[in-house]
Chain A
Amino acid sequence: MAGTRQVATPLTARARSFTPRVERARLVRLGKGLVGIAVAIAIWELVRAAGMVPRDFVPGIGSILQALVDNLGSGLLEALGHTVTAWAVGMLITVAIGGALGVALGLSRVADAAGRVVVDFLRPIPSVALIPVAILIFGIGLRMQLVLIVFACVWPVMFNVRYGVRSVDPLLLDTARVAGLSRAARIRRVVLPWALPAIFTGVRISSSIALVLAVSSEMISGSPGLGKIIVDADGAGNFALAYAGALVTGLFGFLLNVGLVSMDRRLLPWSVAARGDSA
């Protein structure tokens, strides 16, 4: 698979001409996945039926789905909206800040050296530990959540952008310079497209961290959202609703992952995720 970049377009074109076969393979794969899910649900029910877990605490799939449908209009959707808003706005800010920092660190050795120690010490702080600090400074609400999300998620984006920028072929940069492109134009038209797959990897990693923080900050601070629903329902003994909230959270995370990976594959056919799947 050397020179994946050049091969990508003809390959995609060829894949399209074989659409029926590709479609069938995808359907079979989907079918197998659905069977797997059915088996997982069956195991869940069996474990309950066999009395391996206290049945009152672990509701059946039926009552979880029932709780999900019943509460969709009365709180669950609204909570999902809160959580998704925190996630989305947080990610936007993260990408803007992480992208800018990453480009700066990737292009300037001095900036990279200046930030090294600070970053090395800030990055390993598990952001959940900052929830109390964020509550202290910003109070309870969206602003506190955004600060937490951005703090935790900015590192993967920043490091991947920096890595992507560093890996730009110098020949391309020289060509652009000879062609008379200004520094800004070189960044926008050579560096960024080249670094895009790496940037995307950073965004993918960050997006799941952002969800963890959105939910856990809701669980601890009581800001409205899925995390609060889960904790409240759990406290009130409404376990079906608590599990329904967890299910919605997991589904949102799942769709995010799947969506981002397929976007990666479609928009950036030369990137790692696309190559990983072709095996």
Chain B
Amino acid sequence: MRPRLDARKIRYALLGWLVAAGLLLLWQVYAASANLLYLSTFGDAVDAMWTFLTGPSLGEDVLPSVGRMVAGYVIGCAVGIAIGVPVGYLRRMEPWVRPVLEFMRSLPAPVILPMALLLLGANTGMKVAVIAFGCSWPVMLNAIDATRAVDPLLIDTGKVNRLGTFAILRRIALPASMPQIFAGMRTALGIALILMVFSEMIGASSGLGFEILTSQRRFLVPEVYGGVLLIGLIGWAFTVLFSYMERRVLAWHHGRTGGFGNGQ
């Protein structure tokens, strides 16, 4: 049975890559033959991307972009967890703060960028702050919901063992809420990428977002596509990294499906 199954898996994987390669080829051939003003060939886009990665742009745009995103994301997640877990634990607090938090989550984060620009100026700190702001809400709301749903037996066990409130939060509520917090952090990762690019499109003079927008305005078409390819690649890398970390951190959870997660 096993070898046959594996052979099928390989065939499926091959099919996926084949389709992807076919589409890229189609792009290349179509763009080369149609010679459209607004469409560069795949090859030119890859060249432009390569220039981003190897030229001076690497130190001026690419790495700062990624650094700001990581900083904002980490800060946002930390703030979301630091507020969300205690608020969820103090069950009575939730109805008071819920509407305000839901509003903040519903507010499309790009909207606050002009205000942040005005208050904090067009600098790195502002961009990091906006990214952190956008990331914190989904993490916070997931942390609240998850902590509220922690099995009371676990909390009581902690109390019986004379753990202080902080110890209960850190050693019981936080780990038990981690699976759902990770769901929030996954949403936040997408938001961080969006805000990284967006914060560089308005009131910025460097960064990948700035590069692709100015390239578009100057009709440097291959640079536009190359920049998007690179941003997609960065997004893909972070998604893979995130899944890897989630698997490692939540290994205990997957090992006992039907344990904690069952009550929800």
Contacts and interface: CB of A to CB of B under 8 A. Distances in A.
Interface of A: 28-29, 32-37, 39-40, 53-54, 57-58, 109-110, 113-118, 120-133, 135-137, 205, 208, 211-212, 215-216, 219-220, 227, 230-231, 234, 239, 242-243, 245-246, 249-251, 253-254, 256-258, 275-276, 279
B107 A126 contact: no
A137 B38 contact: yes
B228 A129 contact: yes
B119 A57 contact: yes
Interface in B26-51: 38-39
Contact of A126 (B16, B113, B193, B216): B193
A81 B212 CA distance: 29
Contacts of A58: 115, 119
Which residue of A28, A128, A133 has the most chain B CB atoms within 10 A of its CB atom?
A128
Closest 7 CB pairs of A and B: A124-B235, A253-B106, A113-B12, A132-B216, A250-B107, A125-B232, A126-B193
A126 B197 contact: yes
Given A57-B119, A129-B227, A219 B202 contact: yes
Interface residues of B, number: 63
Main secondary structure on chain B at its contact with chain A?
Answer: helix
Given A36-B99, A133-B224, A279-B149, A118 B16 contact: yes
12 contacts: A33-B98, A35-B96, A36-B98, A37-B99, A115-B19, A120-B236, A128-B198, A130-B228, A132-B216, A243-B115, A276-B145, A279-B148
A215 B108 contact: yes
A211 B194 CA distance: 13
Contact of B193 (A57, A124, A132): A124
B232 A33 contact: no
Given A36-B96, A124-B232, A117 B119 contact: no
Interface of B: 11-13, 15-17, 19-20, 23, 38-39, 95-100, 102-115, 118-119, 145, 148-149, 187, 190, 193-194, 196-198, 201-202, 208-209, 212-213, 215-216, 221, 224-225, 227-228, 231-232, 235-236, 238-239, 264
A34 B97 CA distance: 9
Contacts of A121: 20, 232, 236
A137 B39 contact: yes
A226 B117 CA distance: 18
